[in-house]
Amino acid sequence: MLKLDRYIASEFLQSIFAALIILTMVMVGGAFMDVLKDVTKGTMPAGMMLAQLGLVMLTWLPLILPLALMLGILLGMSRLYRDAEMPVLASIGVGPKRLLRPLMMVVLPCVAVVALCALWLGPWAERYSRGMIQEANRNLLITGLEPGKFVAMPGNDGVVYVAGMSNGGSEFDHVFIYREKNDRIHVTTAPKGTLKVEGPNSRFLSLKDGFEVEGPLDNTQLNYRLLQYETNDVRMPDRDDGKADADLRRKPTMELLKIPGKESNAQVHWRLAPAFLALALALLAVPLARSPPRQQRYGRIVVGFLGYFIATDLMILGTQWLSRGKLPMAAGLWWLTLPLLGLAIWMYMRDGKLGKVRA
C-alpha cells in the first residue's frame, strides 16, 4: 500500500502546485496594484517596488495557501473519480478512510506552512517592509535622487533636482527645490548642498550661498519675495512612523500575546485561524469531489470557491467584531474554526456511506 500512498500523494501535490501557481499569478496582480498605489501617492520609493511586491505577497500567503490546498485536493480527487480510478480502488477495499494517510502526508506539511506564514513570516514581512521604507526615507539616494533628474519628494511635497553628486551621495552640486505651501510656491536654489540626518526620521538638505523665491500660487498677484542666504537647511518631509511602529499587525506573535486589549486578542486569533481553515477545507474537499465517472467537475470547484469565500469573510468579520468588542474575548474565532473543522471531519467520515433503504 505504500506505493498507492505515494501515487495518491503525488496526485495531490501536483494539483496543489498547479493551483498555487495560478493563484499566485492572480495574487501578483492584486499586490502590484497595492504597491503601485503607494508609489503614486509618494509613500513608497519607486525603486523599492519589486522588493515590496514580494513582501506583500508573503503577507497574503496565509489566505492564499488554504484555497490552493482545497482546490488541489478537489482537482486531484475529481480526476480519480472522472477516470474511474476511485471505483477500482473501492472494489479492493480502499475507501475514503483509507485515503486519510496519503491525504495527511500532504495536508499536514501544508497546514504547518500556513501556520508558519500566519504566525511568523507574515508579521516579519510587515516589519521588514516598514523598515525598508523608513530607511529609504532617511536616504535621498534610495528614494531615487539622481544627477540631472527631477525627483518627487516623498508625500508629493515637492520636486528636487541636483546636477551632480560626490562623496557617496552626501554632497550635491546645483540644487533646485520646488515646493508648494499655504497657497504659495517656494523655489530654492543653491550651488552646493549636503545631506544631514538628525535622529531616526529628520532629514535636511543643508544649502549654501543660494537664493529662495516665494510667490503666490495662482499668479494673480505680484507678491513675490527674493531671499539670499548664506546657509539654509531645508527639511525633507518625514513620515509618521510612531503609529506604524505601534501597528499590531507588525508585532511578533510572542510579543503580541503579552499585550492586553481587544485589538491584540483579535490579531492573535486572526493569525491562528488560517491553519484551522486550511485543515477544514482540505478535509471537505474529499467528500465534495465525489462524482460519477465522466461527470464535469467544475461545478464542485465553484462550490468550493463559495465555501472558501464565506469562511474567509466570516473570519474577517469576526476579527473586526473582536477588535470592536462585539464578541467576547474568550470566543475569539473558535466559533468559526471549530464548528467548521467538526463539519469537515463529519462529512469526511460519512463520505461513501449509503443511507438506509426505505421499504
Compute the distance between CA of residue 79 and CA of residue 16 in angstroms, rounded to an integer.
13
Same domain, 155 and 129: no
Residues in the chain: 359
Residue 25 scores a pLDDT above 90: no
Residue 178 scores a pLDDT above 50: yes
Same domain, 96 and 172: no
What type of residue sits at position 143? T
Q: Is the pTM of this model over 0.75?
A: no
For 164, the 3-state DSSP assignment is strand
Compute the distance between CA of residue 36 and CA of residue 44 in angstroms, rounded to an integer.
9
**171 found inside a domain:** yes
Same domain, 39 and 113: yes
For the ranges 110-119, 257-266, 294-303, the maximum mean pLDDT occurs at: 110-119
Same domain, 174 and 119: no
Q: What are phi and psi of 198, to 5 degrees?
A: -120, 115
Same domain, 42 and 160: no
**142 found inside a domain:** no
Position with higher pLDDT, 133 vs 339: 339
Last residue of one domain, picked from the residues 235, 255, 283: 235
Same domain, 343 and 281: yes
Whether the Cβ atoms of residue 49 and residue 139 lie closer than 8 Å to each other: no
Mean pLDDT on 273-288: 92
Compute the distance between CA of residue 200 and CA of residue 104 in angstroms, rounded to an integer.
49
Bridge-based pairing of strands 159-166 and 171-181 is: antiparallel
Same domain, 128 and 177: no
Helix (H) or strand (E) holding 186: strand 184-198
Same domain, 212 and 252: no
Q: CB under 8 Å to 157, separation ≥6 — which residues?
A: 42, 179, 236, 237
Whether the Cβ atoms of residue 61 and residue 122 lie closer than 8 Å to each other: yes
**96 found inside a domain:** yes
Same domain, 330 and 273: yes
Mean pLDDT for the chain?
81
**342 found inside a domain:** yes
Radius of gyration over every alpha carbon of the chain, rounded to an integer in angstroms: 29
Q: Tell me what pLDDT residue 64 has.
A: 92
Which residue range is the domain that position 257 belongs to?
2-137+247-350
Last residue of one domain, picked from the residues 194, 213, 235: 235
Residue 277 scores a pLDDT above 90: yes
Compute the distance between CA of residue 97 and CA of residue 16 in angstroms, rounded to an integer.
21
**52 found inside a domain:** yes
Q: Tell me what pLDDT residue 358 has.
A: 44
Last residue of one domain, picked from the residues 200, 235, 270: 235
Identify the CATH number of the domain in which residue 171 sits: 2.30.30
For 300, the 3-state DSSP assignment is helix
Label residue 359 by pLDDT band (50, 70, 90). very low
Q: Tell me what pLDDT residue 109 has.
A: 94
Range from 31-35, 45-49, 230-234 carrying the lowest mean pLDDT: 45-49
Give CA angle at 87 (355, 83), nearest 5°: 130
Number of folded domains in the chain? Answer: 2
Same domain, 264 and 129: yes
C-alpha cell of 221?
498677484
Residue 45 scores a pLDDT above 70: no
**215 found inside a domain:** yes
For the ranges 40-49, 53-62, 199-208, the maximum mean pLDDT occurs at: 53-62
Same domain, 285 and 219: no
Mean pLDDT on 80-104: 79
For the ranges 151-160, 304-313, 348-357, the maximum mean pLDDT occurs at: 304-313
**240 found inside a domain:** no
Range from 63-72, 164-173, 175-184, 338-347 carrying the lowest mean pLDDT: 164-173
Residue 354 scores a pLDDT above 50: no
Position with higher pLDDT, 356 vs 257: 257
Residue 51 scores a pLDDT above 80: yes
Same domain, 39 and 83: yes
Where would I find the H helices in the chain? 2-41, 49-82, 85-91, 100-116, 122-138, 241-245, 253-257, 262-288, 298-324, 334-350
What type of residue sits at position 344? A
Q: What are phi and psi of 272, to 5 degrees?
A: -80, -30
Residue 338 scores a pLDDT above 90: yes
**281 found inside a domain:** yes
Nearest to 201 by CA among 251, 123, 125, 130: 130
Nearest to 49 by CA among 64, 68, 31, 25: 31
Terminus-to-terminus CA distance in the chain, angstroms?
39
Q: Tell me what pLDDT residue 309 has.
A: 92
State the SS3 of 4-73: HHHHHHHHHHHHHHHHHHHHHHHHHHHHHHHHHHHHHHCCCCHHHHHHHHHHHHHHHHHHHHHHHHHHHH
